[in-house]
Amino acid sequence: MFTDIFIRRPILASVCSFIVMLAGAIAIPTLPIGRYPELAPPTVGVSAFYTGANAQAVESAVTTPLETAINGVEGMVYMSSSSTNNGASSIVVTFELGRDPDLAAVDVQNRVNQVLGRLPLDVRTNGITVNKGTAGFLAAIGFYSDNNRYDTLYLSNYLDRYVRDALKRVPGVSNVLMFGERRFAMRLVPCCWTVADPRPNAKSPGPPTSDAL
């Protein structure tokens, strides 16, 4: 048989294997990768935030109405959702292969708009985000400061202001997530409240807090 030749001649078998590998390595750059079928199904993510609500309140007031409205959208295969104790609601809708991600995002946005009036005021004020993408991470990048010159708060603020938007503009990137994100904040606690004296020619108690800021 034909295979007996390679069994009796191992050196010939090794040379033939090397030639096949070399031919494959040379042909890889010339393959029409753009014509390959899509392996990962397109997904559309819906995220909302309900300030001060726990997971149960977010599930009943935000996630469930959104799921009811989105369910049955054209080309949908399945969807998954999560509600957290920090008030965040996240829904991921997975579509069938070949579905245009742009059209899928528009369809989901239209379904969200239908139920927008039934959501709490805080959710409508914060806004509902609809993003298209694929299930999975393209890359994970870590940032650090040499010699501990900058702390994590400074690095997080720098990435949020200068790096995140630049990465979102890269073709093929749908979203950028920052794990352990921190933001600069200021808490104002008034030590006392002053009331203006109604008497004429009375001295003003001082500028209001907004003017002082």
Please report the pLDDT score of residue 180 as a whole number.
76
Q: Is the pLDDT of residue 110 over 90?
A: yes
Q: Is residue 48 part of a domain?
A: yes
Picking from 110, 136, 162, the residue at the C-terminal end of a domain is 136
The answer on 144 and 117 residing in a single domain is no
- The answer to whether residue 6 sits within a structural domain is no
Domain boundary at 96, 114, 136, which?
Answer: 136
- Could you tell me if residue 165 is inside a domain? yes
Could you list the residue range(s) of the whole structural domain that residue 169 is in? 137-189
Residue 175 has pLDDT above 80, yes or no: no
Closest by CA position to 43, among listed 21, 17, 19, 75: 75
Q: Give backbone dihedrals phi and psi of 120, rounded to 5 degrees, phi first.
A: -60, 155
pLDDT tens profile 77-86: 999 999 998 8
Verify that 180 and 157 share a domain, yes or no. yes
Q: Is the dihedral of CA 101, 106, 111, 113 positive or negative?
A: positive
Q: Is the pLDDT of residue 184 over 80?
A: no
Q: By mean pLDDT, which of 38-52, 75-89, 166-180 is the weakest?
A: 166-180
Same domain, 129 and 143: no
Q: Is the pLDDT of residue 166 over 60?
A: yes
- CB neighbours (10 Å) of residue 34? 5
Q: Is 133:174 a contact under the CB 8 Å cutoff?
A: yes
Q: In which band, very low, low, confident or very high, does the pLDDT at 94 lie, cut at 50, 70 and 90?
A: very high
- What are 66's two structure tokens? 């959104």
Q: Strands of 88-95's sheet, edge to edge? A: 76-83, 88-95, 42-49, 129-134
Nearest-angstrom CA–CA distance, 113 and 71: 14
Q: Does residue 21 fall inside a structural domain?
A: no
Look at residue 209 in the predicted model and tell me its pLDDT: 60
Residue ending a domain, among 136, 152, 174, is: 136
pLDDT at 195 > cutoff 60: no
Contact 53, 61 (CB under 8 A): yes
**Mean pLDDT (the chain, rounded):** 82
Query: Counting runs of H as helices and runs of E as strands, what totals does the chain give?
Result: 9, 4
In-domain check, residue 174: yes
